[in-house]
Amino acid sequence: MELKGKVHYVGVNDRTKALFENLWPLPYGVSYNSYLIADEEKVALVDTVDVAFFEVYLKKIKNIIGDRKIDYLIINHMEPDHSGSISLIKQYYPDVVLVGNKKTFDMVDGYYGVEGERLVVAEGDSLKLGHHSLRFYLVPMVHWPETMVTFDETEGVLFSGDAFGCFGALNGGCVDKNINTDIYWDEMRRYYSNIVGKFGNPVQKALQKCGGLDIRMICPTHGPVWEEKIQEVVSLYDRWSRYEGEEGVVVAYGTMYGNTEEMAEVIAEELSLQGIKNVVMYNVSHTPHSYILSDIFRYKGLIVGCTTYNMHLYPEMEALLNKVAAREMKNRMIGYFGSFTWASAAVKKLGEFTEKLKFEVVGSPVEMKQSMKADNETQARELARAMAARLKENN
Ligand code: FEO
């Protein structure tokens, strides 16, 4: 599939894997994007694909360049979903020169131990292929320390690595203007929040670095190639990396027999009565945390509640909060509630977690013993009203 100039798409689709990184569900699959620049003088491959797909990958490459050799393999990112085929590419194209930065080659050695010629590039270095002229920019921690992006100055194509990528395999076409992109927007937020979410500052730095480039096409390593919707995609990454939230509340609860859930329902109802339209409820034992995280990235408000379990937090709630804490999110408001049967613990532990999260605590925590009574319901509604008022104020 020809994209621009001599740039071809040679990525593959994975509709078999259940969990990306063995953690994150893939209801629409995922693509591993690789690009082949079949220039008149030199041929360059930009990133590779998961090694399980090597046979179909090689076929795609050969369909474009036949028996020509590949001169350069540009390694923007070393995570094995993209670097997995380096050893096999080297076997089929023994003269290929690996192109990466200093940190790339530490990982090439550690993962694959491949020998041969290397071109170590630094910030701003360039490489001429003929028609296309490439320039390299280091963008550490988007999403690993070695990550860099490659900019084709001739055609304005940014090979962006994981940045601007999303879950979801490609169905037929790969450029946004030729496909229905509806499924990809939520999948992009889920991808961002799950995979890149911790690295807001590095993403901001990368956006600033690339801000001055005349980008006419973005070729990420996952999901569609962006040509028509470049501005939307860049603006989403900008908002998410600044942890900017929309007006709305995620109510996430852990319940065993429905009592804590009853309180969650009251809170959600009161939020709605107070005019909050975006209220999303999640049972933390039922919904994969991938989706809950995605909505916590979307909305400013979070109310969490759970039952006490063996004098500790309900385990699935603790697991969710650990994932939230690991992303070091900012600009969020939190309220919390909990329950116990014989020894109170959940509310205290949730309080400890909110300190760790550094979210703004809204309202008073609500605690109930065994089941919800009238005074608990009143307190729960007060908590919801406090959150609604704070959100309106914040707008
Ligand atoms: Fe798609 Fe960080 O690898």
Sign of CA dihedral 310, 348, 387, 24: negative
DSSP string over 192-217:
IIIIITT-HHHHHHHHHHHHTS--SE
Q: How far is the CA of 298 from the centre of ligand 1 (A)?
A: 22
Ligand 1 nearest atom to the CA of residue 143, by list position: 2
Nearest CA to ligand 1 atom 3: 79
Distance 77 CA to ligand 1 centre (A): 7
**How many whole angstroms from 254 Cα to the centroid of ligand 1?**
31
Place of tokens 């916590």: 296
Instruction: Output the pLDDT for position 394.
Output: 84
What's the pLDDT score for residue 42?
98
pLDDT at 369: 97
Torsion of CA 90, 94, 98, 102, to 10 degrees: 90
Tens digits of pLDDT across the chain (395 residues): 789 999 999 999 999 999 999 999 999 999 999 999 999 999 999 999 999 999 999 999 999 999 999 999 999 999 999 999 999 999 999 999 999 999 999 999 999 999 999 999 999 999 999 999 999 999 999 989 999 999 999 999 999 999 999 999 999 999 999 999 999 999 999 999 999 999 999 999 999 999 999 999 999 999 999 999 999 999 999 999 999 999 999 999 999 999 999 999 999 999 999 999 999 999 999 999 999 999 999 999 999 999 999 999 999 999 999 999 999 999 999 999 999 999 999 999 999 999 999 899 999 999 999 999 999 999 999 999 999 999 999 87
pLDDT given for residue 317 in this prediction: 98
Please give the number of the atom of ligand 1 that sits closest to the Cα of 32.
1
Find the 44 Cα to ligand 1 centroid distance in Å. 20
The atom of ligand 1 lying closest to the CA of 221 is 1
Q: Please state the atom number of ligand 1 nearest to the C-alpha of residue 162.
A: 1
Distance 11 CA to ligand 1 centre (A): 14
* Distance of CA 83 from the midpoint of ligand 1 (Å): 9
**Ligand 1 surroundings by CB, under 6 angstroms:** 77, 79, 81-82, 143, 162, 221-222
pLDDT value of residue 117: 97
Cβ-count burial 248-267 (b if 16+ within 10 Å, e if not): bbbbbbbbeeebbbbbbbbb
